[in-house]
A and B are shown apart, each in its own frame.
Chain A
Amino acid sequence: MPSTRRAFLVRAGATAAVLPMGLAACSAGTRGASGATPPLVFGKTDGGTTFVHNFNVFGPALEKTPNAEMIYESLARIDYSDGAKVKPWLAKSLTFDTSGTTLTVVLREDVTFSDGKPMTADDVVFSLEIPLRDPIFNIAGTTYDRVAKVNDTTVTVHWPTPAFSQVSQLASIAAPIVPKHIWAAQDLKSWTNPNPVGTGLYTFERFTSQQVTLAARSDYWGGRTAVQQLKIIPTSSDALEEQLLRGEVDWALLAWPNAQQAYVAPDPKHHIYQKYATGGAFSLFFNTAQEPFDNEHVRRALAMTVPRTQIVTTLGRPGTEAGPTGLVDQIYEKEILPQYRGKVQQVDGAGALRELALSGFTVQGGRLVKDGRSFAPKLSYDTDYGWDPYANMMIRSWQKLLGISVTPVGAPGANLYEQQQVGAFDLTISTTGGAGLAGVYSALSSSAYVPIGQKAVTNLGRWKDAATDAAIVKLESTNDPTVIQEAADTLETIVAEQVPYSPIYESYWFVLINADNWTGWPTPEKFSYVPYLGLGPDSTLTLLNMKRAS
């Protein structure tokens, strides 16, 4: 008996020791046979370690099969290379009537679904009506109230109020066009659409929980692609960096602070790291519904002493300090008033002290004091994003230049978001931005205002200002470029001077590419589409223009 037990232990030990070595011997390349067209492998870092099989693009799930936008397309796209304007995609044209409530959509006639059937006005009406039939499917947050078929290639969409700036709703990947002949028979609440049929460049080939394989169509309306197979795999940011270096992943979206040194430098021709402005920014929000941040001088004093340059340098993104208007120069260069264009907000201690004096508040023992009331502000930020060092930089700057002691309060993303929604904060960090000028500024509308204690969706800072409201109404209810520019001028000035929030640094889409197998990627210097899988039409354009590396 003892001898067998010992033998077992010895055997177990030997197996454990030998196993890794023996297995190492049979580890070969994972790229498949050379010579054949390689697939393009996309490494997805934000989808967990496994995928679920659910292509019901209208369903209310938070987790679905990733990148269904390569299969299902929308009527329009947002062109981030051209002022974030909404442009037709499956539509040939999108035209508003003069009142801005009825949009006439003329459809392309060459679009077919991957089962060979043509896309018709019936499919479009069916798809656009899905969110109207049951609001649970309105994950795109569309606000139109009526859709009608005019003829086989024309559809009208009606909004209850002027909606010139709302047309971006039709560019949402959550509002795609689906085939009526398949979807009409399904219960959309419980259907997982295992074999999706759409108008997109790719069709579904195979699902495993660790890989989604898509195959290119030969009859896509927009042309053919050399990338015959697109594989999407889940990965972690640690593994991704090594997978890119080894060429196991061709394309990924991740901010990699020392990528220049660690990734690009070893092979600058094939290792590419790019960033494209999203048009948004990370901003400091004031709770303007409560003292002392209802005082614009206090807000200005704090905004003037945010060490933006120090923050972006530490982030490894020099030169990405956000301007004062909430609009990003790369996208809205023409729309930004000359005095704010390209402006870097430097730390201005003296100016901030003057503002503080004007506010009527004094600083006593680190607290803001006025009329016997004193305030010890807190800065709430997201610990999921590792924001601690930047919050501390701001707090140190305020302490040093103004003498105000701000307490850092870090919270995980989900908790922070709830605090922001109910207004349980003094100062916080959140993103600003949106599709187009109206998208950026509509969050300041008092129509999105809710009192502290109730859940706000936008307007987290509880901004309420008649001049702002008037300008937003003007912006949303016209198509006239002069009027739009006037309204934008007003709003830019309000944000820059009254500081409902203060932009800190611009937000970007970060793109990592290994061009060993595939070339033809756009560059941030010269692009008409962003190589970002997730922006449906933009990734389709990227893939259509891809060439096999020689």
Chain B
Amino acid sequence: MAAATLAAAAAARPAGTHRRWGLLGRRLGFYLAAAWSAITLNFFLPRLMPGDASGAIIAKLQSVSGQQMTPSQLEAIQKIFGDPNSNLFAQYADYLKQLAHLDLGISISSYPTPVSDLLWQGLPWTLLLVGVTTVVAFLLGTGIGALAGWKAGSRFDTIVSPLTIFTSAIPYFWTALLALWLFGFRLGWFPLSGGSDANIPSGFSPSFVLSVLRYGALPAATIVFSALGGWLLGMRNMTVTTVREDYVLLAQAKGLSGHRVLLRYAARNAILPNFTGFALALGHVVGGALLTEVVFNYPGIGYLLYSSVQQRDYPVMQGVFLIITLTVLLANLLADSVYILLDPRIKEGA
């Protein structure tokens, strides 16, 4: 049977492959256009907000010193941070030119640190913590959800599903604070704050890696705990509907083993919506996890974005937004491409 399928696939390949490449190409064009409009919005939106970068600096300096600034001071500051009255389109051209050189500009609040330095300071932490937890939560949730949906109404399902509804209703910050208090403070199993032991120089030394794992375990566990429910319930409910499909019945009638029917027939189809959600979630990984970062004092992009908005640090805001939009687009592109390969029903014109 396997040989027959292969032969049929080989015969269909030329036309099918061509169509797939055409589809991918068009998608690619769409994504390029989307990226351009994201970059453009990214530039104009902050500038449509009331206030400007120089103004933010001036306000801050005045509130620190309690003195009115002289015109020469204002001019000096505008020379560094940009004159809000200069031509917007000239600024836009400069911005595009900068981006083409992969230059994200210089942070205003942390002047003269380049935005890319600040991003690099937070990005690895965020990718590690949120990336790993997103994948783990997806795998765990989807796996348990498939099992619960496969035997809907079983004891496993009647315990796990309501429990998940309950846990996913708990606000994240509360979970995090409780975990910090219980496991960090009362039981003393985990450190209370930070991303690693600050006394160990960062690098790829075993002691540093261990310390990163130890500091990251509790924040990661809280994120997985909170995110698990969504995946689990989504997968469970999709599995419940797919197991009633005729092709599953057929597979069962053929006498295939239970787990084979579950994994190859039911779960494979039930996973598609969850997979879309997963691709989107991956895209949002770089946005960071602000609440986690705040409660556990974990380094990352979330707090950087939050503080840049507070301080109207436009270059940093733009930098973070740019990374987020590009990653979301990239994740979507990947999802689209994998989807085409994964789900035989999606075909142009079919």
A417 CA / B293 CA spacing, docked (Å): 27
Which B residues, 222 to 266, have Cβ-Cβ distances below 8 Å to chain A?
224, 259-260, 263-264
Contact B198 A208 (CB under 8 A): yes
Interface 9-mer from A56-64, A296-304, A491-499: A56-64
Query: How far, in angstroms, from A445 to B22 measured CA to CA in the complex?
Result: 73
Q: Which residue on chain A has the smallest CB distance to residue B117?
A: A52
- Which residues of B sit under 8 angstroms from A64, Cβ to Cβ? 110
Within the assembled complex, what's the spacing in Å between the Cα atoms of A437 and B297? Answer: 40
Q: Which residue of B lies closest to A448 (CB)?
A: B68
- Report the interface size for chain A: residues with CB under 8 A from the other chain: 69
Closest 6 pairs (CB-CB, A-B)? A141-B65, A211-B198, A141-B67, A135-B73, A24-B189, A239-B193
Alpha-carbon distance between A376 and B185 when the two chains are bound, in angstroms: 50
Residue contact B260 to A2, C-beta cutoff 8 Å: yes
Whether the Cβ atoms of A246 and B197 lie closer than 8 Å is no
Q: Chain A nearest CB: distance from B155 CB in Å?
A: 19
Q: Which residues of A contact B109 (CB under 8 A)?
A: 61-63
State whether A238 and B73 are in contact (beta carbons under 8 Å apart), knowing that A27-B189, A418-B51 are contacts in the complex: no
Cβ B185 vs Cβ A59 within 8 A: no
Contact of A2 with B111 at beta-carbon distance under 8 Å, contacts A235-B297, A243-B193 already known: no
B296 interface residue (CB < 8 Å to A): yes
Chain B residues with CB under 8 A of A23? 190, 213-214, 217
Report if A63-B110 is in contact (Cβ < 8 Å); known contacts: A2-B264, A49-B294, A49-B300. yes
**Do residues B217 and A209 form an inter-chain contact, with CB atoms below 8 A?**
no
Query: Can you list 11 pairs linking A and B with CB atoms under 8 Å apart?
Result: A2-B260, A48-B307, A49-B303, A54-B110, A60-B80, A134-B76, A136-B73, A208-B201, A235-B194, A236-B193, A246-B185
Residues of B within 8 A of A127 (CB): none
Asked whether, in the complex, the Cβ of B217 is within 8 Å of the Cβ of A208, the reply is: no
Evaluate contact between B199 and A32: CB separation under 8 angstroms. yes
| A457 at the binding interface (Cβ < 8 Å) | yes
Within 8 A of B (CB), among A203-255: 208-211, 231, 233-236, 238-240, 242-243, 245-246, 248
Cβ of A276 to closest chain B Cβ, rounded Å = 21
A236:B77 contact, CB within 8 angstroms: no
Q: In the complex, which of the residues B51, B69, B218, B311 contacts A20, with contact meaning CB atoms closer than 8 Å?
A: B218
| B112 pairs with A192, CB closer than 8 A | yes
Q: Which residues does chain B contribute within 8 Å of A12, judged by CB atoms?
A: 136, 139-140
Cβ 8 A contact of A417, one of B63, B110, B260? B63
CB distance from A449 to the nearest CB of B (A): 11
* A-B contact sample (20 more), CB < 8 A, given A27-B214, A234-B194, A235-B297: A2-B259, A2-B260, A2-B263, A9-B143, A12-B136, A12-B140, A20-B221, A23-B190, A26-B210, A60-B61, A61-B107, A138-B73, A141-B65, A190-B112, A210-B299, A211-B198, A236-B296, A246-B188, A246-B192, A417-B59
Residues of A within 8 A of B107 (CB): 61, 63
Residue-by-residue, is B113-154 near A (CB-CB < 8 Å gives 1, otherwise 0)? 100001001100000000000001001100100000000000
Which of the candidate stretches B156-164, B176-184, B278-286, B323-331 sits at the interface with the other chain?
A: B176-184
B290: shortest Cβ distance to chain A, in Å? 10
Return the contact of B65 from the options A9, A54, A140, A417 (Cβ within 8 A): A140
The residue on A at minimum CB distance from B221 is A20
| Contact of B185 with A60 in the complex, beta carbons under 8 Å | no
Interface status of A13 (Cβ within 8 A of chain B)? yes
Of all chain B residues, the one with the shortest Cβ separation from A13 is B140
8 Å CB interface, A1-46 against B: 2, 5-6, 9, 12-13, 16, 19-20, 23-24, 26-27, 30, 32
**Inter-chain CB contacts under 8 Å: number:** 195
Shortest B259–chain A CB gap in Å is 6
Tell me the count of chain B residues lying within 8 A, CB to CB, of chain A.
Answer: 79
| A485 in the interface (beta carbon within 8 A) | no
CA distance A238 to B303 in the complex (A): 16
B23-55: contact bitstring with A at CB < 8 Å (1 yes, 0 no)? 000000000000000000000000000110000
Contact B67 A457 (CB under 8 A): yes
A141–B221 CA distance with the chains assembled, in angstroms: 48
Chain B residues, Cβ within 8 Å of A236 = 193, 294-297
Q: Which residue of B lies closest to A236 (CB)?
A: B297
Q: Chain B residues near A189: list those with CB within 8 A.
A: 80, 112
In the bound complex, residues from chain B placing their C-beta under 8 Å from that of A455 are: 59
Q: Is the CB of A238 within 8 A of B61?
A: no
Measured in the bound complex, the distance between the Cα atoms of B309 and A436 in whole Å is: 35
A209 touches B299 (CB 8 A): yes
Asked if B295 contacts A141 (CB within 8 A), the reply is no
Question: Which residue of chain B lies nearest to A172 when distances are taken between CB atoms in the complex?
Answer: B65
> Does A238 contact B121, Cβ atoms closer than 8 Å?
no
Q: How far is the CA of A494 from the CA of B64 in the complex (A)?
A: 26
Instruction: Tell whether A182 is near chain B: CB-to-CB under 8 Å.
Output: no
Question: Distance in Å from the Cβ of B199 to the closest Cβ of chain A?
Answer: 7
Q: Which residues of A contact B (CB under 8 A)?
A: 2, 5-6, 9, 12-13, 16, 19-20, 23-24, 26-27, 30, 32, 48-50, 52-54, 59-64, 134-136, 138-141, 143, 172, 174, 189-192, 208-211, 231, 233-236, 238-240, 242-243, 245-246, 248, 412, 414, 417-418, 421, 434, 443, 448, 455, 457-458
Interface contact A414-B310, CB-CB below 8 Å: yes
**In the complex, what distance in Å separates the CA atom of A30 from the CA atom of B211?**
11
Q: Tell me, in angstroms, the Cα distance from A286 to B277 when the chains sit together.
A: 52
Contact status B77-A54, CB under 8 Å: no
Decide yes or no whether B317 CB sits under 8 A from chain A: no
Bound together, the chains give a CA A174 to CA B59 distance in angstroms of 16
- How near does chain A come to B21, taking the closest CB pair, in angstroms? 27
Expressed in whole angstroms, the minimum distance between the Cβ of B333 and any Cβ of chain A is 25
The answer to whether B72 has its CB under 8 Å from any CB of chain A is yes
Q: How far, in Å, is A397 (CB) from chain B's closest CB?
A: 30
Give B71 Cβ to nearest chain A Cβ, in Å. Answer: 9
Q: Would A60 and B193 be within 8 Å (CB), given that A174-B64, A209-B121, A418-B51 are in contact?
A: no
- Which residue on chain A has the smallest CB distance to residue B259? A2
How near does chain B come to A80, taking the closest CB pair, in angstroms? 17
Contact yes or no, A62 B311, CB < 8 A: yes
Residues on A with beta carbons closer than 8 Å to the beta carbon of B311: 62-63, 414
Task: Say if the beta carbon of B195 comes within 8 Å of chain A.
Answer: yes
B189 contacts A62, CB within 8 Å? no
Complex interface: chain A residues within 8 A of B213 (CB):
19, 23
| A50–B57 CB distance below 8 A | no
A143, B70: Cα distance in complex, Å? 10
- Asked whether B296 lies within 8 Å of A239 as measured between CB atoms, the reply is yes
Distance in Å from the Cβ of A206 to the closest Cβ of chain B? 8
Q: Is B298 an interface residue (CB 8 A)?
A: yes
Q: A174 to B177, alpha carbons, bound, how many Å?
A: 37
Residues in A whose Cβ lies below 8 Å from that of B191: 27, 30
- The residue in chain A whose Cβ has the minimal distance to the Cβ of B224 is A16
In Å, the complex CA distance between A345 and B167 comes to 50
Q: Is B98 an interface residue (CB 8 A)?
A: no
How close is A95's CB to chain B, nearest CB, in angstroms? 24
Tell yes or no: B91 within 8 A of A by CB: no
Give min CB distance, A72 to chain B, whole Å. Answer: 16
Flag if A242 contacts B181 (CB, 8 Å): yes
Residue of B nearest to A421 (CB): B59
Closest to A20 in B: B217
| B224 near A174: Cβ-Cβ < 8 Å | no
- Known contacts: A13-B143, A211-B198. The answer to whether A50 contacts B192 by CB under 8 A is no
Of chain B, the residue at the smallest CB distance from A141 is B65
Q: Which residues of chain B are near A140, meaning CB under 8 Å?
A: 65
